[in-house]
A and B are shown apart, each in its own frame.
Chain A
Amino acid sequence: MNTSNAARLGLILLLAPLLVWLLALVILPHIDMLLISLRERVAPQVYERSFANYAEFFTEPLYWRTFARTAIMSISATALTLLIAFPVSYYIAKMLRGRLKGFLFLLCLVPFWVSELVRTFGWMILLRESGVISNVLQWTGLADGPVEMLYNDATIMVGLVYTSMLFMVVPLVTTLDSLEDSLVEAGYDLGGNGLTVLRTIIIPHAMPGIVSGCIVVFMLTLGNYLTPILLGGKSSMWFTAQIYTQFITRFNWELGAAFGFLLLALSSAIVWTGLKLSRQTLSESMG
């Protein structure tokens, strides 16, 4: 009795800071945001409860188109990141041994030693009209005049994939590392070819890593602000930029808060669908 009481007290004490943090920084602001999003300004300083902000989102095409575009771009960026990161991770985890393995893994980390802002400016220096690549193309005679490579969707995609790579590689390397070589060998020994071994053994084993990597990358991409704005400019049409505009430029906190909640709902819905489609559970992939 006594010991279980003591254990419970210990648990409460350990959890207390976490609960305070959750309450103060996550739950309270969100409740406030929810309340803000549910009111409408009828006259200066006079507010009424209404769903007008949410209604505006659905009636104004620009808003929901930006919304849909952001979702689709984020899903594509996540898929692209997975496609690129998987072979890289497999190579690091299974083909390399010893020091080279640690070195390459570290190499994936290096870009994250500088801030996202600096990294993105790096891309801009390379890709802008008067940038390195444009100059090289002109110098080699492959292009007649300056080439602008910024401010299009492909560039945004490159930036997003680049920013997300590490968050995909880390969970993938970790799960692939725990795949025993003998399982892969047994897969071949019993008559499987490269594709069947990948499909029936390697991917099912790596599934928790794939799912957690995808969730993290998707969330980061959807909520990314800097990369789409800097690399895509005005044409980026990113939903977080829309939220920023409402809060800061328009000073329309009500609409901004509503957008924030829509983004939350969207990301939760997409993650839930993804988990259902891949028949994984959140606890499995995060555990």
Chain B
Amino acid sequence: MDLAKNNKSFDLECRDLRCNFGSFVAVDNVSFGVPEGDFFSILGPSGCGKTTILRMMAGFLEPTSGDILIKGKSVLNVPPNKRPVNMVFQHLALFPMMNVAENIAYGLIRQGVNKSDVSAKVNSALERIGLPGSGEKNIKQLSGGQQQRVAIARCLVLEPAALLLDEPLGALDLKLREHMKVELKKMQSQFDTTFVYITHDQSEALVMSNHVAVMNEGRFEQIGTPQDLYYNPNTAFVAGFVGESNRWHGRVDEVDATGIRVSTAEGVSFLAVPAGKERLAVGDAVDIFVRPESVVIAHDETRAHEMDNRLSGNVISVLFNGANSRALVREGRSGGELDVALPQTGEFSNLAVGQKVFLGWDQAQAKAFACPSGNNQGQGT
């Protein structure tokens, strides 16, 4: 799906957005639209320009070129305090000189809401975030997760067109982060607001979002649903960044209607399919990505027999993690390591290090991307 096309009314839209810091291009011609009520994530590694996009939308940074539209109207000349979007900062930025209720009331008072309405709205917001009666508390008396919810409620009481969240879970510990993922999704439906969420954590983006944009070095690599990104990555970067992958580098030997044959420098030959819109010709350098869960593991050769690609190797370690258990297998011929998901049947519960196993996967599960530099070698996850 193409979200960049303006054929539908978007709550929030960016057109050819660009931001330079001197000669450094932090955001490079980014276009996207966020439909009303959407949970839209921007996913990318540290330093790729996510915060820069968000700050341009909030109005703290002027784009070098391009346009930002909120509810169809350009907001380029609108200062941050007049824009109908609100931001949850990476470190929350709750006002320590005010108590919880005053923090939530701050924006309402600035909007000129009268006193009795303010306190009614503050109380209902506290109720909805599960902190009734905590209005008098000092910010420091709240736990990390509670502060999180206050920071979000403080924005949501203003009923913004969109809520911008800059890695709001980054400062929390793992357990709380898992919990807050569910909580955030719940708050979004409760307050019925569009969320634009920034993260470098793919699981956060995949779990919560309706749409995800994967960003790298200032550009959007792909915009789509989490399933889209996971099963049909358009670029090697997306395939490598979203989810786990085994990866090989090689050259195309043959091209036919069903796909391609690739051989690696170690002399291993694979059947693969060109991913997305890739057009590959014989002799092209390619990267092949295979998800650990696409790899079938077997004790004897017959199980993996009908697969298009077959390998054998020895287990070098077993990473038991309940339903997400993995085995690391060293491939016999090339000596490369493969990450393989273990089936949940318990068949491999007594898999031991050093044991010989047979691996196989279908041609369609191996996605090949042209590798322009050609020097990207080796394999791994």
A residues neighboring B (CB under 8 Å): 180, 182-183, 185-193, 196, 200-201, 204-205
Contact = CB atoms under 8 A, between A and B. Distances in A.
B277 interface: no
Contact of B93 (A183, A191, A200, A204): A183
Interface in B78-108: 79-82, 86-87, 89-91, 93, 95-98, 106-107
Given A182-B89, A185-B80, A190 B106 contact: yes
B158 interface: yes
A201 B81 contact: no
B97 A188 contact: no
Contacts of B158: 190-191
B107 A191 contact: yes
Contacts of B205: none
Interface of B: 58-60, 79-82, 86-87, 89-91, 93, 95-98, 106-107, 110-111, 154-155, 158
Nearest to A184: B93
Given A191-B158, A193-B81, A186 B91 contact: no
7 cross-chain pairs, A with B, having the tightest CB-CB distances, nearest first: A191-B110, A190-B107, A204-B97, A182-B93, A186-B93, A182-B89, A188-B80
Contacts of A192: 81, 106, 110
A192 B87 CA distance: 14
B97 A190 contact: no
A180 B92 CA distance: 11
Given A189-B87, A190-B110, A190-B158, A180 B81 contact: no
Contacts of B97: 200-201, 204-205
B111 A191 contact: yes
Contacts of A186: 87, 89, 93, 95
A180 B139 CA distance: 16
Given A185-B60, A185-B80, A190 B154 contact: yes
B95 A189 contact: no
B263 to A, nearest CB: 53
B95 A183 contact: yes
Contact of B106 (A185, A193, A200): A200
13 contacts: A182-B90, A182-B91, A183-B95, A185-B58, A186-B95, A187-B106, A188-B80, A189-B81, A189-B87, A190-B154, A191-B158, A193-B110, A200-B95
B158 to A, nearest CB: 7
A225 to B, nearest CB: 39
A287 to B, nearest CB: 16
Nearest to A201: B95
Given A183-B95, A186-B95, 5 more contacts: A182-B93, A189-B59, A189-B80, A191-B111, A193-B81
Contact of B91 (A180, A196, A200): A180
